[in-house]
Chain A
């Protein structure tokens, strides 16, 4: 190539040189960035067999701490007026203030499994929900949440059962299940609840949990009461657990320790559970249990259904696992009758 001979050529040459160096610089910078990103993303061992997700180990222990020692832990109330029965029962256990303090955020787990009217007894009766929610607010609860993961469409379940109406009337808020509320839970020592989606999101900020359940016959489990109501926290294709219904209920009993359990046996579903569908499936059993121990509450419910603990194996299994006391008489329950 000829030597540059005039100003313009020199100028061009310098421009070229400067441009070249600039481009070398830019290219190097991009190369460095690419290399850096490559290093940052570098994965020497390849993907894991399954996506690692942090699993929770349980839903929490909401056992009432302030409960007077020696005070009654369980009340069995006879009667027909659900609101009055609950009011008397909880009074016998030291009043709602023993369980709910000012500012508490209370989660009410109801059984809203089916979109059937309350009169068919397949779901928690709205009167009990209203009574419990009302007393919660009266005791100073800041917020009362009502939830379940029903089998039918959640919105129709809450509406048709009257639970949504009862919640609205008392100022409680219904939380219907949605994907974001579920996260994987692995129960330590559990065989079934391992990395399984559970509705843990509704427990966000919750300080007290009250389980409000009806008393029902259940084809697979023998009976559906308080502990079986916990099934409603499960997500995913939970029906695989029907292969070991007693095992899963036992594990569920360990997953959550509620503040209070209300088992409403005013009317019990004696046959064709858990759906029922006919008034002839129901029987006036005129009893409500208010208990801090879900296992003891269910033991009473079994008697209302005219069955024995042998018919409902998960109750003794839950006791053996440490979830509560199946021989409820040992808890010296307070016996009341609102009709007296």
Chain B
């Protein structure tokens, strides 16, 4: 079997596995759901993620040791991952192939010519590692594996969900996801102009693999310096690594097309240098590295005006178990796994809510999705590949058992906006937030008041048993007979309240007749009062789950909203003592 056939099979295999992992990133036990599928496995193989988080945190989170496997293999054979495994590489190679269909040999050779800007990806890598060194992990924005996970999870599959409803019975919503989609379209579309554009010019993971291939004992090479100059190898070269001339080792993605296509079998994969000469990396300029090193400066400036400290945005809620902002940004690779798995669909990619350095990191948005953060769910932390969201047990999330002392994980605190709340501002009974508060005892409690409704004073013409005939009808849009409205003698706040059971024109029917001292004197007025249970939040009990905010009937800017105050993850937000 030819090695290129094996390569194609391997590429298909990894792309299929990748897509399968994206499909199964749905909470459940059905064969197409999460079960035990190691949906982070491809992300775990990523040495850039491992290196970046290790530099930023000083630790290597256990699942990321898989990256050592990819590292070892690369050290000995080169960028196998780019040619055999990378799902984005496969997509790039395929679209590049589509774009070259019908193109003549000269055009193909030109498309695959080595170009100086291929050095850019090394500068990008240095830039990102410089940021990382300052504690800000931004690799995930460019790293092909998080990039593709994010794009498929948040932009492509939701399209499928919405059209077919296969993976999710309700459409998935992801805020501003078109930006993510446009990036993917750009990455894929550029292949039509330049094959494997992203891989050759931009991919920081490819650059890292390229650097790791410095000492590969086996590599592509020619057995003789001169050959027929047919340049067939160049026509099909995926890495633009100049197989016909002075071979550039770090650019070779091990597609083996040169070896396969050479009409005289002059190209080998062997333990010796190419007869036509070889270099390790393309021309890298000092200028490029100096510019890339400015990443240190950028990260430092982020520190100056950081959003993690005093200037943090209190509406930035991170998923349950998320580390404090500084440590969080030292881990999150923006892969979107938490956003895909969240059964409530409330974990959303931040655009600038978390600052520029928090682009596409997960934020919690209670206005959208299906509910607040469900108390019985620990999915986001369990699928986070880097533990930026810690894998919580249910006991820890709910503050049970050994975690009883520290209490449940708090995402923030709900605040009632009394200017928007129906019972507070509009004289309308509501109580939705109180009903939905899942904490026991409830963190939302109410105080009941009876308020005279607008234009709610009337003069009874006649009182007879439960019937009260008014001199003039009450002008109100509300249904006075819905059980929330009462009648009471004006100016007697202590007088008995009688619930209004019916209203027809000027005739009110009370649930029970007015009795004794609460009977209005002749000509005295009565108030129509509404019973309002006004919500209050017990901040010591509130876990910031957002059930109340999600369900609040004031649908735009909710009348009860969760802010990060008192969130478990940071001491900065501590509000109560």
Contact = CB atoms under 8 A, between A and B. Distances in A.
Interface residues of A, number: 36
Interface in B176-192: none
A30 interface: yes
A44 B387 CA distance: 11
B273 A51 contact: no
A224 to B, nearest CB: 19
Interface in A19-54: 19-20, 23-24, 26-28, 30-31, 34-35, 37-38, 41-47, 49-51
A20 B58 contact: no
A43 B330 CA distance: 15
A39 to B, nearest CB: 9
B391 to A, nearest CB: 6
Contacts of B331: 47
B217 A43 contact: no
A243 interface: yes
Contact of A46 (B61, B223, B272, B324): B61
A279 interface: no
Contacts of B58: 41
A144 B575 CA distance: 37
B327 A47 contact: yes
Interface in B222-238: 223
A27 B215 contact: yes
Given A38-B60, A41-B58, A50-B324, A31 B75 contact: yes
A206 interface: no
Contact of A20 (B62, B75, B272, B576): B272
A59 B382 CA distance: 42
A269 B383 CA distance: 60
A280 B61 CA distance: 65
A41 B223 contact: no
B68 A241 contact: no
Interface string A233-245: 0001100110110
A248 B254 CA distance: 67
A195 interface: yes
A19 B272 contact: yes
A16 B72 contact: no
A24 B62 CA distance: 28
B75 A30 contact: yes
Given A27-B215, A31-B75, A240-B577, A46 B390 contact: yes
Contacts of B571: 50, 195, 236
Interface string A215-255: 00000000000000000000011001101100110000000
Given A27-B216, A27-B217, A47-B327, A34 B272 contact: no
Interface string B536-577: 000000000000000000000000000000001101101111
Contacts of A30: 75, 212, 214-215
Contacts of A43: 59-62
Contacts of B72: 31, 34-35
A192 interface: yes
Contact of B59 (A16, A27, A47, A49): A47
Given A24-B217, A27-B75, A31-B75, A47 B387 contact: yes
Nearest to A40: B60
B390 A35 contact: no
Interface string B302-323: 0000000000000000000001
A243 B575 CA distance: 10
Most chain B CB neighbours (cut-off 10 Å) among A35, A47, A49? A47
B539 to A, nearest CB: 10
A281 B558 CA distance: 46
A1 interface: yes
Contact of A26 (B50, B215, B223, B391): B215
A41 B68 contact: no
Interface of B: 50, 54, 57-62, 65, 68, 71-72, 75-76, 212, 214-217, 223, 271-273, 323-324, 327, 331, 387, 390-391, 406, 568-569, 571-572, 574-577
Interface of A: 1, 16, 19-20, 23-24, 26-28, 30-31, 34-35, 37-38, 41-47, 49-51, 191-192, 195, 236-237, 240-241, 243-244, 247-248
List of 3 A-B pairs having minimum Cβ-Cβ separation, nearest first: A43-B59, A41-B60, A26-B215
Given A28-B75, A43-B60, A46-B387, 4 more contacts: A30-B75, A43-B59, A47-B327, A240-B576
28 contacts: A1-B223, A16-B272, A20-B271, A26-B214, A26-B215, A27-B76, A27-B215, A30-B214, A30-B215, A31-B72, A31-B76, A41-B58, A41-B60, A42-B59, A43-B59, A43-B62, A46-B387, A47-B59, A47-B61, A47-B327, A49-B406, A50-B569, A51-B327, A195-B571, A237-B572, A237-B574, A240-B576, A240-B577
